Amino acid sequence: MRLINRKPGRVVAILIGAIPFALAIGAYAVGSGIRRAENPADKLLPSLSAMAEAFVRMAFEADKRSGDYLLWVDTAASLERLFYGMAIAALLAVVIGAVIGILPLGRAFFSPFVAAFSLIPPITVLPILFIVLGLGEAAKVGLIVVGTAPLMIRAVAQAILDLPREEIIRAQTLGASSLQLTMRVVLPQMWPHLIRAVRMGLVPAWIFLVSAEAIAATEGLGYRIFLVRRYLAMDVIIPYVVWITVLAYVIDRVLAILSRRLFPWAHLTGDGL
């Protein structure tokens, strides 16, 4: 059998997938050990045990000043901002993406603006958002929306434009109005593409969330990372970065499974990530 046709079983695939993680952890442990052998007080590459102790302390020991369990408080604050930002961006993607994809007049009206807006570096909009919306939650949520909505709108609109024209023509031949065609042909096929667009938007959403929290916040994963960096507390920063990665991975997997369960017909051909 050719190598290109050889697919690993589930257990083998899990083991193969774990190898890069094990190699990365091993390489870090070796590098950390070498640095600490030269300087036991080295802070740049703390030991794995030191990072585990810091993670446990942040997660399960109440802060002496506030009494809060900082990791969970930061996680709840960041996830709340991420949820509201992505929900608003998804709503905009549904409405504007559908208008661009379905109506030629809507495409002529919105498409140039969305294309131009998507090219604005969102981080440059952050000062404007802080001035207009203040330093509260609205600016942080707004930055996520500005950074992800254009990407999601264009992805949804393109997915609608890629629908087989035969289906559109057949529905019109049977007498379907524009509204009926939208509700019965386009929208049912749009939802899995919307979930895919949300998954694509998660990466920039996390980047903008951490950036906003680093500038103006009193709690959140990004805020904590930039707060402790002044003390070179790498034993806290690295576990926080790993924790953010774990959260992002879990959200992505949940959305992928949700798409497969709700819309199995959209995953019949080809392998998906």
User: Which tens digits make up the pLDDT trace of 218-250?
Assistant: 889 999 998 888 888 888 999 999 999 999 999
pLDDT bin (cut points 50, 70, 90) of residue 273 is low
**Res 8: pLDDT:** 83
Q: Where are the alpha helices (DSSP H) in 3-69?
A: 10-38, 48-60
pTM, whole model, 2 decimals?
0.86
Question: pLDDT tens across 152-178, in order?
Answer: 999 999 999 988 888 888 888 888 888
Q: Kindly give, in sequence order, each residue whose CB lies less than 8 Å from that of residue 253, ignoring residues fewer than 6 positions away.
A: none
Tokens of 66: 């506030």
DSSP tag of 271: -
Most confident of 86-95, 127-136, 176-185, 218-227: 86-95
Evaluate whether 28 touches 45 at the Cβ level (below 8 Å).
yes
CATH says 66-266 is which class?
Answer: mainly alpha
Residue 216 has pLDDT above 80, yes or no: no
> How far is residue 86's CA from residue 152's CA, in Å, rounded to a whole number?
10
Evaluate whether 126 touches 139 at the Cβ level (below 8 Å).
yes
Higher pLDDT, 49 or 3: 49
Evaluate whether 151 touches 201 at the Cβ level (below 8 Å).
yes
**Res 272: pLDDT:** 64
Q: Average pLDDT, whole number, for the chain?
A: 88
Q: What is the rounded average pLDDT of the residues 167-194? A: 87
**Res 99: pLDDT:** 92
Higher pLDDT, 251 or 182: 251
